[in-house]
Amino acid sequence: MEAGTETRTAYLAVYDTFADWETGHTTAHLARNGFTVRTVGPTTDPVTTMAGLRIQPDLALTDLRPEGADLLILTGADLWDSGDELAPFARTARVFLDAGVPVAAICGATAGLAREGLLDERAHTSAVPRYLAATGYRGSAHYRDADAVTDGDLITAGPTEPVAFAREVFGRLGVYEGKRLDAWYRLYQRSDVSAYDVLQGSS
């Protein structure tokens, strides 16, 4: 993002059993490119990630609105598959999508969106097809065997694809584009040193 442009805001959903590794590339590079990243929890009480790290949410889910937001990120967590505790986050994703605000979901969060019916008519991916099929959703015809998928304002990825997930987010938001987006992916996914010069603008 060029100097002088208005700050954009990405909201990162955080909750107990949050999968630490899945959104690090995304949030770090958004922050380095002019975005403010704010965390939103079930409440403002601290949550504990899979790694045992404690995160103090910036705001509670009930206070989150799509107005003024540029992205909602939903990461994986054991809680997506152990009950309905995180269902309010999937319902909030519907509100964001209805408002035309992008939503990016990875790993278990894709199952939450499936249960909410948000994948029934949109191209998407996840860990494996049978993982989503177990939710009883009706969108199996739209499943794509890909590292990450963007369909309009919805981005999805499986748990082993945090770099591809970030690539799709950056492309959707215009953080990196064209050759620079490809170079970013090649550098962080494949350790392709030739991509470094492209990112630095010297190639």
Q: Which residues are catalytic?
A: 107
User: Cα(166)–Cα(172) distance, rounded to whole angstroms?
Assistant: 10
Give a three-class secondary structure readout of the chain.
Answer: CCCCCCCEEEEEECCCCECHHHCHHHHHHHHCCCEEEEEEECCCCCEECCCCCEECCCEEHHHCCCCCCCEEEECCEHHHHCCCCCHHHHHHHHHHHHCCCCEEEECHHHHHHHHCCCCCCCCECCCCHHHHHCCCCCCHHHECCCCEEEECCEEEECCCCHHHHHHHHHHHHCCCCHHHHHHHHHHHHHCCCHHHHHHCCCC
Q: What angle do CA 76, 155, 138 make, to 5 degrees?
A: 80
